[in-house]
Amino acid sequence: MGKKMKKVALIFGITGQDGSYLAELLLKKKYIIHGVKRRSSSANTDRIDHLFDSVNFSNKNFFIHYGDISDGTSTLNIINKIKPDEIYNLAAQSHVRVSFDVPEYTADITALGALRILESIKILNLRKTKYYQASSSEMYGLVGKRKSLNEKTPFHPRSVYGVSKVFAYHAAVHYREAYGIFASNGILFNHESPRRGPTFVTKKIVQGLVRIKKGLQKKLTLGNLYAIRDWGHAKDYAVSMWKILQHKKADDWVIATNKENTVKNFVNLTAKKLSLRIKWVGKGLNEKAINIETKKVIIDLDKKFLRPTEVDFLKGDFSKARKKLKWKPVITTNELIEDMIEEEILK
Ligand code: NAP
Ligand code: G4F
């Protein structure tokens, strides 16, 4: 019997939170991994430096290529060179608030970037290459009833980021229907980790409160405390991405925990774990949290962190993934917060 060939995966967005967890998972599964990294003037490989030789950009199963999904030629050339078994498109301008300030750029990367990859697979006639699209719960946007959202819930995006993700979602479905490409959407609800970017709310809260506890920062300033999110751990969600591409047919999948928390709850849970006793006072933009011991305001609000249109409620029903992919989240919200605090405290 000949030796089994290793599977080859190409990851766009390898330097991001999810890219790093997915790369770790696939290396454990003995894949050969190629990742695409943008040129930047400062280091952007912190999350994956432990996986490869950051000077020569390789280890024997892990290779990094310069590329950018705004550049159709380089995208096509990389896909042609590697002819991967699996392509994971995790690359995006992924910050919702930022998409209000840079809408055209967001659409170019988050919407058209996905199209460029799909079109490359089509042009190169890669019949065996499977495609994963990092779709988002942000696509649901304005929801009527506050009930768990599933694969059948209609989309009503509330930002250019959301609009772009809806485009990329439908592009994947379209290339599947029109050209028979194995293209699947993972509709992932918010997922966090110690590797989360510092301007997303969970990381901002954990980082801010740990620094306040250590005496390195006086105050944390936030926006809407009452948005509800379904927060999971990125490590669990990387497993779902892989499972989605191992399923017998291409399909669309909600990945979530089906648990809800407000931003304020997330603050309270984090403060409690840090033994910071806080009391909330005031209303609207004047709402503040006071440190009961020092009597000082440690959290206040600023309208600059509000969005012109907000997504008030996101909670996902992942029963299809549980049944057909045998996927479920393992890490609880409490454990997620502990993991994030632990890393922050060591800094
Ligand atoms: P992230 O940390 O912001 O990572 C985004 C990745 O995309 C980074 O590697 C970034 O590179 C790369 N990228 C940005 N513009 C690019 C371009 N023009 N060409 C090539 N690469 C580019 O996001 P994440 O949290 O890991 O999320 C991964 C994907 O899932 C994103 O598409 C996001 O929109 C989507 N998603 C995330 C969540 C969530 O809660 N985390 C939920 C649903 C969907 P740099 O490192 O150079 O910036
Ligand atoms: O952490 P956030 O910025 O995440 P958001 O907007 O839900 O988007 C994330 O999840 C999406 C999945 O649904 C992904 F597709 C997307 O790529 C990204 O990963 O904000 C969460 C909530 C929002 O309602 C926001 O208004 O927290 C609220 N919030 C309150 N204060 C804040 C802040 N958000 C940020 N970033 N910063 C604040 O100071």
Per-residue pLDDT at 30: 95
pTM: 0.97
In angstroms, what is the span from residue 77 Cα to ligand 1's centroid?
A: 21
**Ligand 2 atom showing the smallest separation from residue 92 Cα:** 17
Q: Which ligand is nearest to the CA of 89?
A: 1
pLDDT over 70 (residue 311): yes
Q: Which ligand is nearest to the CA of 196?
A: 1
Q: Which CATH class is domain 8-194+232-259+311-331?
A: alpha beta
pLDDT over 90 (residue 73): yes
In angstroms, what is the span from residue 217 Cα to ligand 1's centroid?
A: 28
pLDDT above 90 covers what percent of the chain? Answer: 94
Q: Measure the CA–CA gap between 50 and 341, rounded to whole angstroms.
A: 21
DSSP label at 149? Answer: B
Q: Which ligand is nearest to the CA of 221?
A: 2
The DSSP-derived string for 75-115 is HHHHHHHH--SEEEE--S---HHHHHHSHHHHIIIIIIHHH
Q: Is 166 touching ligand 2 by the criterion CB < 6 Å?
A: no
Q: Helix (H, G, I), strand (E, B), or coil: what is residue 164? A: helix
Q: Is 92 touching ligand 1 by the criterion CB < 6 Å?
A: yes
Distance from chain centroid for Cα 13? 10
Instruction: Find out whether 58 and 52 touch, Cβ atoms under 8 Å.
Output: yes
Q: Helix (H, G, I), strand (E, B), or coil: what is residue 283? A: coil
The answer for 218, left when phi > 0, alpha when psi is -120 to 50, beta otherwise, is alpha
Q: Helix (H, G, I), strand (E, B), or coil: what is residue 177? A: helix
Instruction: Find out whether 225 and 287 touch, Cβ atoms under 8 Å.
Output: yes
Indicate which residue's Cα is closest to atom 26 of ligand 2.
224
In angstroms, what is the span from residue 280 Cα to ligand 1's centroid?
A: 34
| Section 163-180 average pLDDT | 98
Q: Measure the CA–CA gap between 117 and 10, rounded to whole angstroms.
A: 11
In angstroms, what is the span from residue 178 Cα to ligand 1's centroid?
A: 27
Q: Is 305 touching ligand 2 by the criterion CB < 6 Å?
A: yes
Indicate which residue's Cα is closest to atom 4 of ligand 1.
16
In angstroms, what is the span from residue 24 Cα to ligand 1's centroid?
A: 16
pLDDT over 60 (residue 154): yes
pLDDT band for 57, please (50, 70, 90 cuts): low
Over residues 221-237, the pLDDT tens digits come to 999 999 999 999 999 99
pLDDT band for 133, please (50, 70, 90 cuts): very high
Per-residue pLDDT at 60: 86
